[in-house]
Structures are given as C-alpha cells and as structure tokens.
Amino acid sequence: MGQNLVEKLISSHLVEGEAVAGSQIAIRIDQTLLQDALGTMACLQFEAMGLTKPQTELSVLYVDHNTLQTGFENADDHLFLQTFCKRYGLYFSRPGNGICHQVHLERFGRPGRSLLGSDSHTPTGGGLGMLAIGAGGLDVAVAMGTGSYRLTMPGVIRVLLKGRLQDGCAAKDIILEVLRRLTVKGGVGYAVEYAGEGVETLSVYERATITNMGAELGATCSVFPSDAQTLRFLQAQGREDQYIPLTADEDARYAKTIAIDLSALEPLVAAPHSPDNVKPVSELSHIKVDQVCIGSCTNSSYADLMRAAHVLKGRQIHPGVSLTISPGSRQVLTALAENGALAHMIQAGARILECTCGPCIGVGQAPKSAGVSLRTFNRNFERRSGTADAQVYLSSVETAVATALRGTITSLQDICPTPQIDLPQRFVVSDNLLIYPDPDPETEIVRGTNIKPFPMFEDMPGNLQGKVLIVTGDDVTTDHIMPGGADVMRYRSNIPHLSQFCLVRCDPDFPETAKKYGGGIIVGGENYGQGSSREHAALAPVYLGVRAVIAKSFSRIHKANLINSGIFPLEFANPADYNSVKKLDDVSIPDLLSKVEQGLPLEAQIGGNTVPLKLSVTPWEQQVLLAGGMVRFIKNHG
C-alpha cells in the first residue's frame, strides 16, 4: 500500500513511534519560527529550561505583531529579542521586514522540510510542500533546543480539486468552501492534503492562502504537492536549488475524501462571527460596508496585491468606505513601488499600512461603532477587530476590492474581469532587514522593565479542590481567553500584568473572582480554546491559580498549551453533565495525581453531583502534567 503525502513527510522525519493515525510520535524539526507576540515568552522559557543552542537547521524570530510603539514596552521587547538571537544564533527579522508567514515562504520555506512555529498559521508553509505545524511557544522552544517535537499522528483528509476557478473566484473561496463543509471543528485530529488536476492551476501564493486558513479547521497541518508551480516560485526567489518533487502515491489511502469542482464555485464570504459561517456573495449584496482591509498572512502576497492594484487603477473607492492595504513583506512592497502598482492604490484612495499583522490582530484600524468591515484575513471572531460590536466578514482580495469600489458586498464579476497576474521571473531580493545568525554566547541580553522572568508555578496538589470560576459556551476562542489588540499584546512578556485581562471578554470579573477564591476550575463547552496558538491563554489562567479546565472538548493547540502549563485538560465523560454546572459550584477531584499516574477512572464532585471525567493524553503528556508542566519536566529530565 502506498503512502499519502502527509505520511511521506512525517515518515521521513520520524524519530519515535509509527506513522499510524492516532499513535504518539516524535518527529525531527528542521526549522522553527517564532514571532514577537509569542516569541518573547518562548525565549524566556528557553532560558528557564536551561537550553543552550538551537538544534535545528534554521530558526527564525520575526517581529511582526507588536510593532505599534505607543509606549516603551514593544521597543524593549524588540531589543530583548534581537540580543537573544545574537546570543543563541537565530535569524532575526526586524520590524518592517514583513509578516512571518509571508517572509518565511519567500526566503526560507523548502519542500520536504519540517517547520514548527509559535503561530497557529504556520501551516502556510504547506503551500510549498512543507510539513508545517503551528504550536505554542513552549513547544517551539523545546523543539528548537532538542530538535524534535511530539504529537499525535493525524488522520489525513484528502481534498480533491477538479477543474479550474471561474472568473471572480479565488483560492480564498476554496478554503471557505472547505470550512463550510467541515466547520471549525472538522479538522481536529486530521491533516488536510490537496490533490487533483485543479491543484496544477494554483500558484504557490494561492496554495499558501488555502493552507494558511487550514488552521481555522483545527487541522494539524495542510499540504500541497511540490511540483512545477513550486519550482517556478523558488526560481523567482533565486532558490531553485532547494526544489524537490513531492506527491502522494497513486494507491495512497485517506481517512476521508471531499471533492470540490472549482468551476462550480461562486465567490464566498464568511459572515460574523466565525470563519465557517460561509455564505455566497450573491446573498449578501445588500450589506453596506464601512471598511475594507486587504492584507494579513492569508492574502498579502505580490499576486494578491497586484490584482487589487489592477482593479483600482483609474478608479476611486466608494466615499463611504475606508480601504487599507497591508503588504505582506518588504519584498512585496518594494515590487509594488517599483512597478507603479503602489501608485494606483494610493491614487484610488487606499491607505497603505506597514508590512505587519496590524488590523488582523486588532492592532490599529478598528472599525467604527457597529461598523461593517470586510477583510481578507483568516479570523472574524467577535471583538477581534478591536471594536466590540463590529460585524466582520472575510473574503478574497477580489471580492474585497470590488466591495471597496461599490460600497456594498460585491463580486468582482460585477466590476470587471479578474486580472491575470504574471509573476516576475526573478524578484529583487533584499534581506537588509534580516540579521543573519552570528552566535556570541557572551552577548548580554537586554531586558526592559516590562520583561518579567518566566513564573515557576506552584506544585499541583494531589487532591484538587476549588470553585467553578466561570462556565463558558461552545467555541470559546483564545481571543476570548486572552485578548489581542495593542492595549494587551504589549504585555506578552509580563504574565502578572497580562493576567488582569484573562477571560474578561466572557466575564469582566473573572480575574478578581480567581484572586478572591485563590484560583479554581474553568468549565468550557465544545472546542474550547480554538483559534490562535497563544499560550498566554494558558499561562495567565495558571498564574491566577487555575489548575484544571473541564470541557466538552478542546482545540488541539490550546489543549497542548494547557498541558505544557501544568493545567489538566479534563473532559466530561458524559457531555450532558456540562448543563448542570453553575458558576461558583464547589469542585473536588480526590486523588487526581495518583489516579492519573495509575490510569484509574476520574470523577469529580461538582455542586453535589458526581461527574465522571476523562483525561485523553499520551504517555508523554501524562509525564509532563505530573511534573507540573513542560518547563519543570525539561529542567528535571533534559
């Protein structure tokens, strides 16, 4: 029996276990990616674990999230990160060089290589034939220091693409269709592999859009073959020597297959407040839009922005619309400036932003009160934009630029034909904002007053007791647990201060409640912790004394982050028991540690009721939990 592409990539990196779905494995990590919002804490954790140098082929730290310098905090973090990279030998991508996933695709991504990144959208690299996986910063710090990463071998969903996209449709519509079918929970426990003749029609940029938003499925990773399109992209980047062909065997097997006829797709939009709330543009054409934002790691490539510039040339945006454009990298911005496309955007009325994440993470460009914003981003969670009552829609660049011109949600088909963009045979490559590794162990790491040491939390008691501090609903995101935005993100290296924002979007009194009762237990619904890989959504709760979360189910990355932080991710054995739990119920889980160690059944007393629980973890994860978290485990066991 042949192998699918995911199995080939994992088998070629396997260092422990067997590549059988559902089994515990460890894989060799070739590259790691850190970004400043999570990387600062990951660097502090790297030091706390006593690790000494990267064991990878290549490790890069990008500054792309916290670039709005309204105070000293972000600038202090940038200097800390730069001096850390100098001491330990990492590449350092300076502020303004671009969004981590776009820059990594251009300068470092290689087919056949493995990449672990402290950002949930790291699977972007799968568009280049990489095994690219998002994880919490602590997992990346461990992988950087040890060269390996442990995970559960995913099953593989094949998405069979047939035909060719029609005029007005884009790669974004493909992934929105996949989300419409599978939902934000449908990829949990799976990797997604794209195949079929339709794959050949998609450039690496288009493939990267699709693999980027595979994170919204909850999937471990998404991957495309490495083929003629891959070679063409690498040639344009001056890296054709790194090309290797990769494809699935003809007799490969899959857990499931879904087929999409590209010629039958119509332009799609994700309506508020979830990426899987997908509707045809034709059903939403009555909706007036106040703001259009083009960019993010999903749709900020040269090809994306050239299409926008062609449509905007000689036209004016609607007087009731604010249009912002964020180039994904300095390379993209330079190319647009040199070929005149940037002038077309500016003359049409667009506002050109820095090459950063920006509005996607709520840093700048918050819509007006109750405003409608159409964005080419990957997430439209409630409040993520920075405006509590904003209505945020997600679309392709084609639909976004048409909407900016018309003032209502509009398909590009109603404005003009889709421009055909020819990629340069060679991009002008400038790495002048990239500092190459030159490790010097004598380098002093500069620590500003906002940078606090990684907190070593108290040991887990053998008998867990406490109050239910909050009961959340289904699909609570890490944006709910630990908000983004400029006011919060600048404290990513300061857990004591950051904890004041924990879960305030679900309950404004949560931090004070946790302090009043000396910690306790969080109770959640389905898919608790979906969204970003930000491990601060676990670190802030444990700082407030939370030592267990009981939920119907967990998202993959957040569950791992809870384990790494020493918080037990417990599930209701009978999900209906969730309905009987109330805030401030007393909870007791006797002999928790000894029962976990012996593999015995777990149950809790909650509000006078006996509630059976389950702990679905691997033997490795069990050891980490019993040690009190990953930092303690690595310090004690190496």
Beta bridge partners of 116: 32, 133
Token digits for 521?
Answer: 């237990």
Q: Catalytic pick from 532, 533, 553, 555?
A: 532
379 among known catalytic residues: yes
What is the DSSP code string of 489-540? HTTTT-HHHHGGGTTTTT-TTHHHHHHHTT-EEEEE-TTBTBS---THHHHH
Three-state DSSP at 441 gives: coil
Q: Catalytic pick from 13, 36, 59, 65?
A: 65
65 among known catalytic residues: yes
Token digits for 161?
Answer: 């693409």
What is the DSSP code string of 355-402? SS-GGGGTSS-PPPTT-EEEESSS---TTTTS-TT-EEEE--HHHHHH
Distance of CA 401 to the CA centre of its chain: 25
Q: Catalytic pick from 30, 119, 276, 304?
A: 119
Name all contacts of 426-432 with Cβ < 8 Å and 24+ positions apart.
426/235, 426/236, 426/238, 427/106, 427/236, 427/237, 427/238, 427/302, 427/331, 427/335, 428/331, 428/334, 428/335, 428/338, 429/107, 429/237, 429/238, 429/331, 430/330, 430/331, 430/334, 431/107
Sequence-distant (≥ 6) Cβ neighbours of residue 512 within 8 angstroms = none
Taking a C-beta distance cutoff of 8 angstroms, is the pair 448, 501 a contact?
no
DSSP-derived secondary structure letter, 445: P
DSSP-derived secondary structure letter, 284: S
532 among known catalytic residues: yes
- Distance (Å, rounded) from C-alpha 100 to C-alpha 61? 8
Sequence-distant (≥ 6) Cβ neighbours of residue 439 within 8 angstroms = 53, 86, 87, 88, 89
- Say which residue the tokens 């073959």 belong to: 225
DSSP-derived secondary structure letter, 205: H
Token digits for 344?
Answer: 């077309």
Q: Closest Cα to residue 266, out of 398, 374, 434?
A: 398
310 among known catalytic residues: no
326 among known catalytic residues: no
Q: Catalytic pick from 36, 64, 77, 304?
A: 64
User: Pairing state of beta strands 568-572 and 546-551?
Assistant: parallel
Q: Catalytic pick from 273, 307, 534, 536?
A: 534
Residue type, 589: I
Helix/strand/coil (H/E/C) assignment for every residue in 17-80: CCCCCCCEEEEECCEEEEEHHHHHHHHHHHHHCCCCCCCCCEEEEECCCCCCCCCHHHHHHHHH
Three-state DSSP at 268 gives: strand
Q: Catalytic pick from 273, 375, 379, 406?
A: 379
64 among known catalytic residues: yes
Phi and psi angles of residue 280, each rounded to the nearest 5 degrees, phi first: -65, 145
Catalytic residues: 64-65, 119, 379, 532, 534
